């Protein structure tokens, strides 16, 4: 039997750069990125409508910034404003709008599609950039805590389809990420807080010291202390990126330990019709899996209490009525989330639980009765008043 | 300024396996691929309608084959039959049909989407597999010469959009390719011949010895000698794969030397409304660029004559009326193909021409008057009667 074996590696590299007021004329961080280009780098900019409402001068600043630096960077057309939040990922017409714009602007593969906004908008734009011309360079400027410390600094993009989160998407890293903390100031309290849950998550499974730092800073974080938030975002982004680089970045295998607390989170987000923010759902998902780990006998009562107390101190609600929704077979609907999680990932069911603070452990089955008990426990302790 | 640098490599690996009658019960090539799976590997199969017309027993054979090997492989649903040829890539509803099926069949990332057909169908299915769940494993069973020696063994997929070829797509390698020469027997003469032009192309820019072999075998190839075709396909696939592995597989840079003859080919394919096969258009594109190279003084008259004579002997037409279509500005419409080629690729215009047989040379501009002259020359010498 004749055969030809193909074998190659592809190298991916990008930086996450922390800055303040990226499009101030005096800030050269953005334009310096394009230092080695032969011609002015073409940028097509897409802006999150929700964020834009708080930054009405943004387009003006961007235009001035590009004009001031016109030898190195060039705007392609007018910035496009698109609905942010989960709507960006649920409505397929936004994807079409972006693709149509790339065609009309004659964007080529060496141009840049730059997205400014929350994680959902970045996911949408990243997907469009991944598939137009088989890949246009994509720059991310995340404007929420969650996007700056997690979703915006990684290698995934996607949109929702068939009622399933991220059903369509790709693994394609951005070419650069600019984390501008100026955008955090105008976040409402929910969006400020929501992203902190991803930091708790990664601390719990990777870094006990970081967990203790979050404990120490919980009150300040909750009362919107900028410096504490900057450190939290930096360390959280770093842990996520280290994990990605060290562990199957394009998820070809079965393991996906960064998704601690996420199997239930995705499902209740969807059941709440995205009234819950992703980060809020993750906090509940963590509370559920921590309760489960405790009831299962994997972690001590003290550990379980420490974690739920931290989430409470950070201002998270730890129960949502969608956890208790029952399907026609009389089962908890969130259990379906386990199956969807497995389908999305493929292979054996693999769920990350806790061994102790700072160390996760993978399991391949979950006890449905114990999930029910965990939900009941959260309901009795944490039903919002 | 704080920053985090991300750096990682992703390893890709797959085999192109040559076989005969892949789904004969006695042939274990296909099932052996799944040897290391823990459970029976789920396969969702998509079949090219045009090819299926010549192999009406195929679904029956596949079902028997899967049943016979049911401990190792499992069919997901009924095989889906989809229009082949460029229609597969032009009609966006086919992409939707496939994605919908992946959802309905609860396909996960460790399942397989296996496509059997010509290059266009493989491109469509490969794209669907690339974006569902951010990537489902994809197996290709190319059934035409062109798909077996070029498009089906590489890392690209895609569909057409906004009137442009491959406007949407991704770089995602298959996990395996099975080249079954039994499918070649039922090709009509046009499809048998069309794929030979890609072998001529890669020989011209990479391998003089291979060019001489094609010269030697031209008559046999033209009269459908199976053994000659098998060698041609093997060597051509090998040269393409070596090139991909050794040169920027995901085309992040500007160079794309495998596209010799393709800038004009893509445009006349589109202008003919895909009445021309891709391989037929490539033969004309090669003839054009070889004529241009000769008129420009880059190659000797003898070389130019040798190449055009070979294309003729292989049975290719070297002129098509779409080459001479004039736009409203009185210019050759194919010139627009240069611009579209550059947009798709990005960066500087980079066109591969010939230095000599077996060696290409990249240029960054083309002389429009000389293109016109080359078209005139082809028209006067090769207008089909």
pLDDT tens-digit profile of A196-221? Answer: 999 999 999 999 999 999 999 999 99
Could A168 and B131 be called an inter-chain contact, meaning their C-beta atoms sit closer than 8 Å? yes
Could A344 and B17 be called an inter-chain contact, meaning their C-beta atoms sit closer than 8 Å? no
| A103 → closest Cβ in B18, B162, B170 | B162
Q: Beta-carbon neighbour count of residue B162 at 10 Å?
A: 12
Cβ neighbourhood burial of A379 (10 Å; 0-12, 13-18, 19+): middle
Alpha-helical regions (H) of chain B = 29-32, 49-54, 58-68, 86-90, 92-104, 119-131, 145-149, 189-194, 196-206, 208-222, 226-246, 262-271, 278-295, 301-313, 335-345, 368-382
Do residues B131 and B137 touch, judged by C-beta distance below 8 A? Answer: no
User: For residue B347, what is the DSSP state?
Assistant: S
| B345 → closest Cβ in A14, A109, A132 | A109
Mutation pick from B8, B16, B21 vs chain A, by most beta carbons of A within 10 Å, is: B8
> What is the DSSP pairing of strand B164-168 with strand B159-161?
antiparallel
- Provide the mean pLDDT of chain B: 95
Q: pLDDT tens-digit profile of A157-179?
A: 999 999 888 999 999 999 999 99
Q: How many angstroms away from the CA of A217 is the closest CA of chain B?
A: 21
What tokens appear for B169 in the block?
């797509």
Q: How many angstroms away from the CA of B73 is the closest CA of chain A?
A: 14
Specify the pLDDT at position A183: 97
Q: What is the rounded end-to-end Cα distance, in angstroms, of chain A?
A: 70
Q: How many angstroms away from the CA of A165 is the closest CA of chain B?
A: 9
User: Residue B222 above 80 pLDDT?
Assistant: yes
Chain A residues close to B9, C-beta within 8 Å: 9-12
Could A5 and B15 be called an inter-chain contact, meaning their C-beta atoms sit closer than 8 Å? yes
| B344 → closest Cβ in A108, A167, A171 | A108
Region of B304 (left: φ > 0; alpha: ψ -120 to 50; beta: rest) is alpha
Q: pLDDT tens-digit profile of B257-271?
A: 788 999 999 999 999
Chain B residues close to A344, C-beta within 8 Å: 108-109, 133
Distance CA A343, CA A347 (A): 8
Give the chain B residue whose CA is nearest to the CA of A345.
B109
What tokens appear for A189 in the block?
């309290």
**Closest by Cα among B218, B194, B193, B195 to B306:** B218
Chain B residues close to A100, C-beta within 8 Å: 162
Give the chain A residue whose CA is nearest to the CA of B235.
A4
Specify the pLDDT at position B42: 96
Chain B residues close to A166, C-beta within 8 Å: 134
**Closest by Cα among A153, A219, A211, A148 to A185:** A148
Specify the pLDDT at position A344: 73
| B1 → closest Cβ in A5, A29, A168 | A29
The H helix count followed by the E strand count for chain B is 16, 11
**Closest by Cα among B278, B281, B288 to B308:** B288
**Closest by Cα among B132, B82, B141, B81 to B111:** B132
| A4 → closest Cβ in B1, B16, B130 | B16
| pTM across the whole model | 0.94
CB–CB contacts below 8 A, A to B: 198
Q: How many angstroms away from the CA of B311 is the closest CA of chain A?
A: 27
Q: pLDDT tens-digit profile of B146-165?
A: 999 999 999 999 999 998 88
The length of chain B, given as a count of residues: 385
Chain A residues close to B250, C-beta within 8 Å: 10, 135
Distance CA A13, CA A249 (A): 12
Distance CA A363, CA A366 (A): 8
Q: pLDDT tens-digit profile of B43-90?
A: 999 999 999 999 999 999 999 999 999 999 999 999 999 999 999 999
Could A109 and B251 be called an inter-chain contact, meaning their C-beta atoms sit closer than 8 Å? yes
Q: How many angstroms away from the CA of A15 is the closest CA of chain B?
A: 4
Specify the pLDDT at position B349: 87
User: Residue A75 above 90 pLDDT?
Assistant: yes
Could A245 and B166 be called an inter-chain contact, meaning their C-beta atoms sit closer than 8 Å? no
Could B132 and A167 be called an inter-chain contact, meaning their C-beta atoms sit closer than 8 Å? yes
Do residues B267 and B333 touch, judged by C-beta distance below 8 A? Answer: yes
Q: How many angstroms away from the CA of B18 is the closest CA of chain A?
A: 5
Cα separation values, B210 from B238, B284, B360, Å: 11, 20, 14
What tokens appear for A41 in the block?
């780098």
Could you tell me if the ipTM is greater than 0.85? yes
Could B10 and A14 be called an inter-chain contact, meaning their C-beta atoms sit closer than 8 Å? no
Give the chain B residue whose CA is nearest to the CA of A339.
B106
Q: pLDDT tens-digit profile of B330-384?
A: 999 999 888 888 877 777 888 999 999 999 999 999 999 999 999 999 999 988 7
| A170 → closest Cβ in B130, B241, B345 | B130
Phi/psi for A357 (5° steps) reads -65, 125
Cα separation values, B293 from A117, B102, B260, B351, B356, Å: 50, 48, 12, 12, 10
Region of A84 (left: φ > 0; alpha: ψ -120 to 50; beta: rest) is beta
Could B169 and A134 be called an inter-chain contact, meaning their C-beta atoms sit closer than 8 Å? yes
Q: pLDDT tens-digit profile of A342-358?
A: 877 777 888 999 999 99
Q: pLDDT tens-digit profile of A82-95?
A: 999 999 999 999 99
Instruction: Please name every residue paired with B137 in a beta bridge, in sequence order, or none if there are none.
Output: B112
Do residues A129 and A136 touch, judged by C-beta distance below 8 A? Answer: yes
| A132 → closest Cβ in B6, B167, B347 | B167
Specify the pLDDT at position A346: 74
Q: Beta-carbon neighbour count of residue B199 at 10 Å?
A: 29
For A164, half-sphere exposure in the C-beta direction (CA atoms, 13 angstrom radius) is: 27
Phi/psi for A95 (5° steps) reads -60, -45
Could B135 and A250 be called an inter-chain contact, meaning their C-beta atoms sit closer than 8 Å? yes
Chain A residues close to B34, C-beta within 8 Å: none
Could A10 and B343 be called an inter-chain contact, meaning their C-beta atoms sit closer than 8 Å? no
Three-state secondary structure call for residue A119: helix
Specify the pLDDT at position A255: 66
Give the chain B residue whose CA is nearest to the CA of A179.
B3
Could A241 and B4 be called an inter-chain contact, meaning their C-beta atoms sit closer than 8 Å? yes
Chain B residues close to A11, C-beta within 8 Å: 7-9
B255 pLDDT band (50/70/90 cuts)? low
- Provide the mean pLDDT of chain A: 95
**Closest by Cα among B239, B221, B11 to A10:** B11
Three-state secondary structure call for residue A102: helix
Chain A residues close to B17, C-beta within 8 Å: 1-3
Do residues A203 and A211 touch, judged by C-beta distance below 8 A? Answer: yes
**Closest by Cα among B200, B1, B366 to A21:** B1
Q: How many angstroms away from the CA of B301 is the closest CA of chain A?
A: 36
User: For residue A373, what is the DSSP state?
Assistant: H
Mutation pick from A3, A5, A6, A345 vs chain B, by most beta carbons of B within 10 Å, is: A6
Q: Beta-carbon neighbour count of residue A361 at 10 Å?
A: 15
Distance CA A327, CA A265 (A): 18
**Closest by Cα among B58, B62, B96, B56 to B76:** B62
Could A108 and B343 be called an inter-chain contact, meaning their C-beta atoms sit closer than 8 Å? yes
Three-state secondary structure call for residue A317: coil
Chain B residues close to A14, C-beta within 8 Å: 5-6
Could A6 and B18 be called an inter-chain contact, meaning their C-beta atoms sit closer than 8 Å? no
Chain A residues close to B132, C-beta within 8 Å: 167-168
The H helix count followed by the E strand count for chain A is 16, 11
What tokens appear for B5 in the block?
């640098």
- Cβ-Cβ contacts under 8 Å for A53 (sequence gap 6 or more): none
Give the chain B residue whose CA is nearest to the CA of A173.
B6
Phi/psi for B178 (5° steps) reads -115, 115
What tokens appear for A57 in the block?
């001068």
**Closest by Cα among B363, B345, B334 to B276:** B334
Give the chain B residue whose CA is nearest to the CA of A247.
B8
User: Residue A233 above 80 pLDDT?
Assistant: yes
Estimate the share of chain B in helix, then strand, then coil, as percent rounded to the nearest 5.
50, 20, 30
Distance CA B96, CA B45 (A): 16
DSSP A49-88: HHHHHH-TTHHHHHHHHHHHTTTTEEE-SSPEEE--THHH
What tokens appear for A179 in the block?
């984390």
Chain A residues close to B5, C-beta within 8 Å: 13-15
Do residues A151 and A119 touch, judged by C-beta distance below 8 A? Answer: yes
Give the chain B residue whose CA is nearest to the CA of A40.
B347
Report the b/e string of B72-84 with b at 16+ CB within 10 A.
bbbbbeebbbbbb
Report the b/e string of A99-113 with b at 16+ CB within 10 A.
bebbbebebbbbbbb
**Closest by Cα among B209, B223, B137, B132 to B174:** B137
Q: How many angstroms away from the CA of A237 is the closest CA of chain B?
A: 8
Q: pLDDT tens-digit profile of B196-211?
A: 999 999 999 999 999 9
Could B134 and A17 be called an inter-chain contact, meaning their C-beta atoms sit closer than 8 Å? no
User: Residue A334 above 70 pLDDT?
Assistant: yes
Provide mean pLDDT across the span B93-102. 98
Do residues B103 and A164 touch, judged by C-beta distance below 8 A? Answer: yes
């Amino acid at each position: 039997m004749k055969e030809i074996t193909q074998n190659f590696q592809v190298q991916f590299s990008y930086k996450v750069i922390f800055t303040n007021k990226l499009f101030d004329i005096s800030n050269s961080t953005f334009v310096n990125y394009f230092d080695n280009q032969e011609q002015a780098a073409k940028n097509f900019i897409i802006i999150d409508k929700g964020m834009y409402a708080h930054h009405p001068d943004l387009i003006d600043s961007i235009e001035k910034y590009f004009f001031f630096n016109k030898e190195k960077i060039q705007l392609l057309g007018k910035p496009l404003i698109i609905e942010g939040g989960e709507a960006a990922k649920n409505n397929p017409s936004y994807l079409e709008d972006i693709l149509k714009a790339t065609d009309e602007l004659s964007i080529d593969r060496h141009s840049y599609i730059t997205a400014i906004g929350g994680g959902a908008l970045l996911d949408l734009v990243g997907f469009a950039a991944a598939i137009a011309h088989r890949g246009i360079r994509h720059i991310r400027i995340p404007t929420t805590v969650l996007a700056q410390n997690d979703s915006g600094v990684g290698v995934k993009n996607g949109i929702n389809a068939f009622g399933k989160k991220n059903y369509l998407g790709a693994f394609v890293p951005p070419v650069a990420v600019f984390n501008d903390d100026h955008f955090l100031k105008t976040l409402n309290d929910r969006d400020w807080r929501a992203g902190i849950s991803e930091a708790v998550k990664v601390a719990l499974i990777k870094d006990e010291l970081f967990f203790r730092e979050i404990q120490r800073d919980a009150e300040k974080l909750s009362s919107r202390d900028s410096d504490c938030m900057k450190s939290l975002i930096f360390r959280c982004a770093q842990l996520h990126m280290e994990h990605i680089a060290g562990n199957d970045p394009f998820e070809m295998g079965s393991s996906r330990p960064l998704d601690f607390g996420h199997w239930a989170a995705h499902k209740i987000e969807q059941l709440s019709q995205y009234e819950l923010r992703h980060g809020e759902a993750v906090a509940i998902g963590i509370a559920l899996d921590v309760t489960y780990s405790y009831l299962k006998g994997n972690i001590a009562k003290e550990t379980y209490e420490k974690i739920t107390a931290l989430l409470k101190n950070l201002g998270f609600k730890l129960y949502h009525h969608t956890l208790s929704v029952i399907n026609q077979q009389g089962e908890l609907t969130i259990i379906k989330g386990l199956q969807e999680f497995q389908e999305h990932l493929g292979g054996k069911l693999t769920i990350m639980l806790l061994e102790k603070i700072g160390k996760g452990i993978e399991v391949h089955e979950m006890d449905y009765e114990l999930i029910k008990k965990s939900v009941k426990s959260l309901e009795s302790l944490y039903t919002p008043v």
